[in-house]
Chains A and B, each alone.
Chain A
Amino acid sequence: MTDPKTLSPPSLETHVAEHDETFLDANELVINMGPQHPATHGVLRVILRLDGEKVMGLECVIGYLHRGVEKIGENRTYTMFNPYVDRMDYVAAVSNGLGYCEAVEKLLSVEAPPRAQYVRVILTELNRISSHQLWLGTHALDIGAITPLFYTFRDREEILKIFEKYCGARLTTHAFRIGGLQYEVYDGFERDVKNFVSFVKPKIDEYEGLLTTNRIWLERTKGVGVISGKDCIALGVTGPVLRASGVKWDIRKAQPYANYKNFDFEIPIGLNGDTYDRYLVRMVEMRQSLRIIEQAVAGIPEGPIMAKVPKVMKPPVGEIYHSIEAPKGELGYFIVSDGSTQPYRMRVRPPSFVNLQALDIMCRGQLVADVIAVIGTLDIVLGEVDR
């Protein structure tokens, strides 16, 4: 699993020692980055303790976007809460919906029919690509390359068009229902998806052409924000960040859900756990998602799209934890049912929130400019961090 030789980020003590040897003993500077800062991806506030430009430590202040999603969940019926989950990670709304629907289905002991599961996989993987594209664009923008942003947005548009055609919404899709799908796929869905796959493959090469071997990109990302697999596990970091640190952990393979065991795909892992590896891992993931989509589109079975679920859902008393591999990491739903129409307790385990904890350990000893790169590479969405 974890490579013992992986670099562990230096501890605080060594940094204090280094601090003493700096050129001019200026006072330690405390800088507030955000919540209104162009590079904090929303309303994240980071309090940086700086020595010159070197980060001695940082603290994330979150909650500026808190809407009490979990509390809302406890005051709505299971069906009513479904659209709310789209508002957490709004760039990967489909994944959120998938996780929630599957969790409730598990609680109800129903299973979506195969056709629905195939469509779910296609849409979720499309969503993973669009989420990664958005990440790539903004991450590159933070590092100073402005052009990839426009390329990725251009191509992401095609995915959003498919979503819009399917369910009428582009961002907060509310695509799935508990027990399957509400809508049958539209005519030409398969064709659209196939066209998209063949359209986006050269585009991913295009992004890589701009960045992968770009010297400045290499210098800015290699060895920046290193985190070891051990630290990742200790902090509960999941998703591409974990995989880039050399831990082969993907819930799609480890605890297959929604038919993923029927598809053939690889899990990319990195070696060094730095920003560049995370970049590469996500690029490969996009290609792997395309592979899954190709297989799924080829094999969509005929049949019903909705399992038999009661009109008024009253799951049996009990609790359930169900997690899926969202684009950003493990997205889990913990639902406690007291047998009524509303959950007794609803808890979401958002990947961004947990991954954000690693920011401090990844940034210590790096420069301010690296903090920007690391925030970008963690791929956080504040809507999900604050919920």
Chain B
Amino acid sequence: MGALVQYIQSYLSSDLTPGAAGNWFWATVYVLLVFVGLSVAVICMNWLERKILAHMQVRLGPMRVGPHGLLQPIADALKLLLKEDIIPAEADKIVFWVAPFIVVLAAFTVFVVVPFGPTHAITDMNIGILFMLGVSSLSVLGIVTAGWASNSHYPLIGALRSSAQMVSYEVAMGLAVVSVILMTSLNAEGTGTLSMIGIVRAQQAQGMWFIFKFFPLGLIAFAIFAVAMVAETNRAPFDLPEAESELTAGFHTEYSGFRWSLFFLAEYSAMIAVSSIAVTLWLGGWLRPFPNLLSGATWDLVFSLFPGLAFLFLAGMCFFNVARMPKHPLFKIQTIGLAGFGVVLGLIGVILFVPLVRDRVGDIFWFSAKVAAFMYLYIWYRGTFPRYRFDQLMKVGWKVLLPTGFAVLILTAATAFFEPSVEQWLRHIL
């Protein structure tokens, strides 16, 4: 037992990812952790989206299943799993069956290289960002085949729209990413990196998030990516493929039950995936705010208290709502449930204050918090914007984002090339 603890401790204190260490046991553990964590995140996201959207739209959202509808996602998942799996008679059975799995696999495989912390990644690849973009682009295949296999007009049009959209926005996305890769090469050796961890380390070394680098170039590149990633995940206002007022439900019109839920899962994990790319590339990944400006042991301690405080805040919200619950016997179970949930959250919060844990989860917390901000934006967009028309969407992609992306890329390269000499020259004349 003691040896086991020692083994775990020695592993935790190493600064390699399991992939880099070649440790297949820990790699498996990480894969499982990421898989479970992602599923939980999707479930939370489902609940939050319905709740936040409801509050934006002067509704209550789910309120019946569990206190404040907390168990609603679970009920939904059960319903979807138990539903009859309908395959249309004229559909291409094999392709129809395989398509959702392609989408899910593409969405989940991406997380192999997502760095939740300097050591909290399944592996760190030399081609990290290339791998992420490549694998996430594979989901197009699943969507196209799903639409085709359904053998029906609306899904086919939805699939064609969706794939055309994803392919075109990938170009703008790639350009924005390339400008970041250029920024990583601003070091002594002059070589950049594609590795996700390397990109965050470069931001640490250069002392600023790349969103502020070469202001406003980094910001524009980020803006291009932020638009393209919404289009890439087929979310509002670019949710044409599933525009229910036009195409019923787009490529997954004919899907139901479990297979439909796979598309759902894939959509949400793809949202998390592209948000993690944005966070890693522009917002400093796992780095806490002001890692260089507010450095030192005291600030480290202060910032490491945040995760625990966040959970305690959530627990406090739960207890606040327990107090607000109607004092009717019918609400007794709900009140107890909410209180129990609060206690669980509070316990997690307390555990997060333990120094050993505190030091290890800080980076995961900051990464997740940044991703969560993007998730909120996704919901906000959906509550605010009307939907683009297809030709307008293409126009935005090819005529606005692409030229801007090229301009930003060239300007970034020029700035990176000339900045040292200009600086020298300025120093010379001043």
Contacts and interface: CB of A to CB of B under 8 A. Distances in A.
A233 interface: no
A372 B59 contact: no
B245 interface: yes
Interface string B203-245: 0000000000000000000000000000000001101100111
A228 B246 CA distance: 26
Nearest to A224: B389
B148 to A, nearest CB: 15
Contacts of B53: 146
Contacts of A150: 57-59
Contact of B384 (A37, A210, A369): A210
Contact of B389 (A149, A211, A367): A367
Contact of B246 (A151, A154, A217, A369): A369
A47 interface: no
B423 interface: no
A145 B245 CA distance: 11
Given A38-B245, A142-B245, A369-B246, A151 B389 contact: no
Contact of B239 (A29, A143, A144, A154): A144
B387 A216 contact: yes
Interface in A210-243: 210-211, 214, 216-217, 219-220
Interface string B367-390: 000000000000000111111111
B390 A216 contact: no
Interface residues of A, number: 30
Pick from B236, B382, B386 the residue with the most CB of A within 10 Å. B386
A141 B58 CA distance: 16
B243 to A, nearest CB: 7
A38 B59 CA distance: 21
A29 B58 CA distance: 41
B390 A367 contact: yes
Given A38-B245, A372-B246, A31 B153 contact: yes
Interface in B389-430: 389-392
A140 interface: yes
A39 interface: yes
A38 B157 CA distance: 17
Nearest to B247: A368
Q: How large is the interface on B (under 10, 10 to 19, 20 to 34, 35 or more residues)?
A: 20 to 34
Contacts of A211: 386
A53 interface: yes
A219 B392 CA distance: 8
B385 A29 contact: no
B248 interface: yes
B246 A39 contact: yes
B33 interface: no
- Main SS class of interface, A: helix
B56 interface: yes
Given A150-B57, A368-B246, A144 B386 contact: yes
Interface string A19-56: 00000000001010000011100000000000001000
A262 interface: no
A146 to B, nearest CB: 7
A370 interface: yes
A219 B385 contact: no
A198 interface: no
Interface in B247-261: 248
A147 interface: yes
Contact of B386 (A38, A154, A216, A368): A216
Contact of A146 (B248, B383, B390, B391): B383
B151 to A, nearest CB: 15
Interface in A345-387: 367-370, 372
A93 to B, nearest CB: 25
B153 A220 contact: no
A216 B388 contact: yes
Interface in A168-224: 210-211, 214, 216-217, 219-220
Given A141-B245, A372-B245, A367 B386 contact: no
B58 A220 contact: no
B153 A146 contact: no
Nearest to A144: B387
Given A145-B385, A216-B386, A38 B58 contact: no
A99 B314 CA distance: 58
27 contacts: A29-B153, A31-B153, A37-B248, A38-B248, A39-B245, A53-B157, A140-B386, A142-B245, A144-B245, A144-B388, A145-B384, A146-B53, A146-B383, A147-B383, A149-B57, A151-B57, A214-B386, A216-B237, A216-B386, A217-B386, A219-B392, A220-B386, A220-B388, A367-B390, A367-B391, A369-B389, A369-B390
The 10 lowest CB-CB distance pairs between A and B, nearest first, are: A144-B387, A39-B245, A150-B57, A145-B386, A144-B386, A143-B386, A369-B389, A142-B245, A216-B386, A217-B386
